[in-house]
Amino acid sequence: MFNDQALIIGVAVLIVAALYSTVGHGGGSGYLAVLALSGIAPEEMRTAALFLNIVVASIGTWKFSKTGTFRKNIFVPLVCASVPAAFMGGNVEVPSTIYKSIVGIILLYAAVRLCIPIKGNEQTKQPSIVLIIITGVIIGFPSGIIGVGGGIFLSPLILLLGWATAKQTAAISAPFILVNSVAGLCGIAVVNKGLPVDLSFMFPLAIAAVVGGVVGASFGSQRLGHQGLRMILGVVLLVASVKMFISTPPQHAAELVDVKYSQ
């Protein structure tokens, strides 16, 4: 049985999943924000975020694959470079204080990025394989360390460089986030000889992520996410970013689960 705080986290995860999935994202930075605001321990934050990323990105991959906008010529070399980089990043153990500062900066970046309207040129260009590979490594490694799939970095970069349209970017981002999240989670599992997260805490969050992911990806695959909703989410991430720089005692996920004691 879960207490009120766990229920609030579940609802927040559902909302984050719905909003992020409208643009083909898994929601990693959003989950980190929710967990940060809830005071979850840093060692559990990135594992939980990657797990939820996998759930939502799987749905996004399925939904956006039906739009016919997937760019295989960009995706394949990108993940060939990013997956091993994300795995290596997942192997990196970062001290709690440093991790919280890094996440705070990433959430601040994500908050600003979400407030900027999505724009994509209809005229696109094919980048060189070398440039794509370098991009994959640069995005994959820090994503594995932090506990995100890298979509929040990949999408604006692809659009800025004119590699793809907004719809094509969403179709590339979803599977990119999926495979990188899996790689990052595997890296964490290897270095910790298991996943440092309470499964009884994660299961209801996964259900919430599925519901939110299906709703958001279904809408987003037809029409990209509404800018007003993205700005609201940006404010939430901004608050979470500030909180990450404020020292607060971390709370383990298991503590959010009510345990029935026999008298």
Q: What is the pLDDT of residues 166-192, one digit of tens each?
A: 778 888 888 999 999 999 899 888 888
pLDDT confidence of residue 205? 92
pLDDT band at 82 (very low <50, low <70, confident <90, very high): very high
pLDDT confidence of residue 55? 94
What's the mean pLDDT in 69-92? 90
Of the CA atoms within 13 Å of residue 149, those in its CB half-sphere come to 34
List pLDDT tens digits, range 128-172.
Answer: 999 999 999 999 998 888 888 888 788 878 877 888 887 788 888
Q: Pick 27 or 55 by higher pLDDT.
A: 55
Q: Burial code of 227-248, b = ≥16 C-beta within 10 A, e = fewer?
A: eeebeebbebbbebbebbeeee
pLDDT band at 27 (very low <50, low <70, confident <90, very high): confident
pLDDT greater than 90 at residue 239: no
pLDDT confidence of residue 250? 61
- Please give the backbone phi and psi of residue 13, each rounded to the nearest 5 degrees, phi first: -65, -40
Are 196 and 188 in contact by the 8 Å Cβ rule? The answer is yes
pLDDT greater than 70 at residue 60: yes
| Domain layout of the chain by residue ranges | 4-245
